[in-house]
């Protein structure tokens, strides 16, 4: 794809994305809108002519009930392929899996509630009871775990070209989003900004579909500890988001970052080299072997 066609494609996508954002209609995320904690960063990025955000999450605490991991024998025999759509994938999504709790803010209101109220809140209103000292032996495909999770910010940014994408990637890694990377670098590159260093996932219960109840793997003191740990991770997550915003400001403001063409840069370097040679003082010392500057010849990369 030539550069001009690539930029036209990027501009069309950006116009569509910004139009959808401005419409106020719910997006495809479970929340249905952009998280308030990440709005300043998104607004900053979208002001740049060659950048547009495509999806984001500012970070979240969640409790997730895994879906069914295998179909019943009768349905497998009768419906085969159709039943596969109702079976959870790795990670528990699909097959009746669902969120029992999702929040994009630290949790505080329910930490001091009585145990009964706290457990009802954590397990999304599903009744729960203490677990036995040892759970019955079951195949892993028969167990539907309940997970307590903290997931840090993730942000996908479409860019007009690889140079802009690389600059944004440098800002991301400098802000401790170390697992970031560039997708589709040869067309319209997408920078995936993320980190796994703050994330954690703890099994806190097992769901019994026959009774519709949860057997707890963690009791209220341990669950409250998980909430406090997630709240601490949230604060570090917010610090990194602000660090990224500051790095983006300095990167986007860098002079000649997007205005100087390769040919202009080559010409400038050539002139600078000639000027250095002209102003070089005379000397009677034995000259050092000259090391050619590749940029003096107009080479750019």
Predicted confidence (pLDDT) at residue 36 exceeds the cutoff of 70: yes
What pLDDT shows up at residue 258?
A: 45
Q: Kindly state the tokens that stand for 122.
A: 């954590």
Q: Using one digit for the tens of pLDDT, what is the confidence trace for 58-112?
A: 999 999 999 887 765 444 444 444 444 576 555 656 667 899 999 999 998 678 8
- What would you measure as the largest C-alpha separation in the chain, in angstroms? 97
Mean pLDDT across the chain, nearest whole number?
80
Spatial CB neighbours of 230, under 8 Å, sequence gap ≥ 6: 61, 106, 107, 148, 150, 200
Instruction: From residue 190, give the alpha-carbon distance in Å to each of 17, 54, 162.
Output: 14, 9, 9
Of 139 and 59, more confident: 59
Mean local confidence (pLDDT), 22-50: 83
Going by their DSSP bridges, the two strands 190-194 and 154-159 should be labelled as antiparallel
Domain boundaries, the chain: 3-252, 262-280+291-301
Give me 243's structure tokens. 């660090």
C-beta of residue 65 within 8 angstroms of C-beta of residue 144: yes
pLDDT confidence of residue 23: 80
* 300 pLDDT more than 60: no
State the CATH architecture for 3-252.
Answer: 2-Layer Sandwich (3.30)
Q: For 146-200, what is each residue's pLDDT tens digit?
A: 999 999 999 999 999 999 999 999 999 999 999 999 998 888 899 999 999 999 9
For residue 193, the SS3 value is strand
In Å, what is the CA distance from 72 to each residue of 15, 59, 65, 219, 280?
47, 36, 19, 32, 85
Residue 237 has pLDDT above 80, yes or no: yes
């Amino acid at each position: 794809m030539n550069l001009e066609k690539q930029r036209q494609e990027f501009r069309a996508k950006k116009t569509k994305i910004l139009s959808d954002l401005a419409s106020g209609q719910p997006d495809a995320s479970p929340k249905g809108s952009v998280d308030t904690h990440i709005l300043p960063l998104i607004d900053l990025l979208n002001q740049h002519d060659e950048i547009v955000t495509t999806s984001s999450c500012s970070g979240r605490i969640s409790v997730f009930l895994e879906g069914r991991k295998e179909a019943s024998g009768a349905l497998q025999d009768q419906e085969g392929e159709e039943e596969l759509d109702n079976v959870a994938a790795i990670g528990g999504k699909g097959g009746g899996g669902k969120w029992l709790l999702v929040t994009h803010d630290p949790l505080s209101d329910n930490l001091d509630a009585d145990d009964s109220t706290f457990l009802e809140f954590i397990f999304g209103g599903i009744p729960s009871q203490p677990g036995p000292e040892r759970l019955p032996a079951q195949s892993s495909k028969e167990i539907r775990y309940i997970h307590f999770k903290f997931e840090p910010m993730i942000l996908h940014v479409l860019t007009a070209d690889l140079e802009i994408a690389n600059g944004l990637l440098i800002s991301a890694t400098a802000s401790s989003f170390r697992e970031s990377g560039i997708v589709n670098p040869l067309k319209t590159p997408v920078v995936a900004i993320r980190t796994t260093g703050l994330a954690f996932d703890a099994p806190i219960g097992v769901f019994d579909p026959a009774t519709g109840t949860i057997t707890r793997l963690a009791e209220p003191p341990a669950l409250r500890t998980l909430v406090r740990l997630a709240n601490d991770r949230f604060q570090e997550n917010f610090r990194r988001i602000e660090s990224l915003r500051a790095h983006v400001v300095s990167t986007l403001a860098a002079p000649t970052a997007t205005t100087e063409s390769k040919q202009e840069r080559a010409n400038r370097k050539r002139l600078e080299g000639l000027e250095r040679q002209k102003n070089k003082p005379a000397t009677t010392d034995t000259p050092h072997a000259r090391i050619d500057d590749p940029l003096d010849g107009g080479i750019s990369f």
